[in-house]
Amino acid sequence: MPPVPPGPAAPAPEGHAAHGHPAPGSAPQGWPTAPPAVPAYAGAGGGHEWGAAYQPPAGSSGRGKGGLVAGVLVAALVAGGLGGGIGYWAAERNDNSVDSTTVSASDTPADLKREPGTVASIAQKALPSVVTIDAQSGGGEGGTGTGFVYDREGHILTNNHVVASAAEGGQVSATFSNGKKYDAEVLGRAQGYDVAVLKLKKAEGLKSLSLGDSEKVAVGDSTIAIGAPFGLSNTVTTGIISAKNRPVTSSDGSSNKNSYMSALQTDASINPGNSGGPLLDARGAVIGINSAIKPAESGSGLGGGQGGSIGLGFAIPINQAKNVADQLIKSGKAVYPMIGASVSVEERSDGGAQVSDQGAGGAGEPVTPGGPADKAGIEPGDVITKLNDRIIDSGPTLISEIWTHKPGEKVKLTYERDGKEHTVDVTLGSKGED
């Protein structure tokens, strides 16, 4: 996959990254480094961190082995071994978004019936299928996240960053709203997609949540989020879909790899601990996995200094998550689509994603010989402006769009060369996760 340039909407973040980021014009080899924790638009030494909605344990800074260190920007970073990049700020809160409402949903009496279609009715039906996940690393560090029953075989769908610290020699458990607690194993996880599947041990009588169609979601649709914000299990919040196709990237803090998505944006209140939980539509069907937020000013309230929700939450569309989950259940691994070209990380004032004149890390070919882009005739210097009918205004947008497809799918790329526009068909290649 190509590296990602910052988009034209704002200056690229400066070099005060949590884990560093490539210098403008470079394209590091392998998975990209973690994005900056403090975007440049906030000014030097100010602003807010972007962070995944994951709650480290009490007394933890969240920056240890078991905590989450994530700079989440509304952008996508390229992964898959063909380059990296830096993110940029490109999200403005939708003017017609409404305030979220928190609904008390814990220990709802079983005999209390609500009218079908109400938030209370949907929550009452969905809560028994949502779990609070406790993930502990081999060293005893960890945190709290959320997941939900994917099928009756005991598979739980969640975020990779929720269980990453416990994936190697750690312990994972899942607690249902009725208090039943089960040990679980990490069946498979996909760092790049930020999706993981757990398998519960000795669990019976499970009821899975119905899955919706995230392609049919529209801005303004009602949303319901369920999770464990700041460890408060079985919390239900409501809002709307504020935007679609937001390129978002985050890191689990345990490696220099990043995940990214073409996200659903919602103003339903999402906080640390909500990660991995379901985002439901007005029918109670899952349309996304709550994964990242832009938190409020940190240093006050619950969470030991972590900032809370300001109405900017992001969820992995369920259509993409389902595709990844099915791969993980089948083989324990996921594959990633690629075009086999390296895209410059330099900012372009006129938008588009420009193919680099050098390969990843300054070595190799910018267009992989015999790869999808090469077969389609794409050359260094070409500026990709459209994928199918979607306008590409930056490298992050291009990558997030590519990752909504599957290897082997044919997409139509529009690019400019020497002032002339060309359109070609590209059959996406594939790459396993390192």
Count the Cβ atoms, other than its own, within 10 Å of residue 153: 12
Residue 140 near residue 156 (C-beta atoms within 8 A): no
d(CA 281, CA 398) in angstroms, rounded, equals 27
Find all residues with CB under 8 Å of 222, minimum gap 6, and list them: 238, 239, 240, 281, 282
**Which neighbouring-strand residues pair with 319?**
none
Residue 308 near residue 48 (C-beta atoms within 8 A): no
Find all residues with CB under 8 Å of 21, minimum gap 6, and list them: 13, 15, 32, 33, 34, 35, 36, 86
Residue 35 near residue 13 (C-beta atoms within 8 A): yes
Q: What angle do CA 267, 77, 304 make, to 5 degrees?
A: 50
Secondary structure element (H or E) that encloses residue 399, with its range: helix 395-402
Q: What is the CA radius of gyration of the chain?
A: 21
Spatial CA neighbour of 308 closest among 374, 227, 395 = 227
Spatial CA neighbour of 242 closest among 265, 271, 223 = 265
User: Known catalytic residues?
Assistant: 161, 194, 275
Residue 287 near residue 214 (C-beta atoms within 8 A): yes
Residue 268 near residue 123 (C-beta atoms within 8 A): no
Count the Cβ atoms, other than its own, within 10 Å of residue 390: 16
Outline where DSSP puts E strands in 296-395.
309-317, 335-338, 353-354, 383-387, 390-391
DSSP state of 128: G
DSSP state of 388: T
Parallel, antiparallel, or unpaired: how do β-strands 410-417 and 383-387 relate?
antiparallel
d(CA 120, CA 79) in angstroms, rounded, equals 40
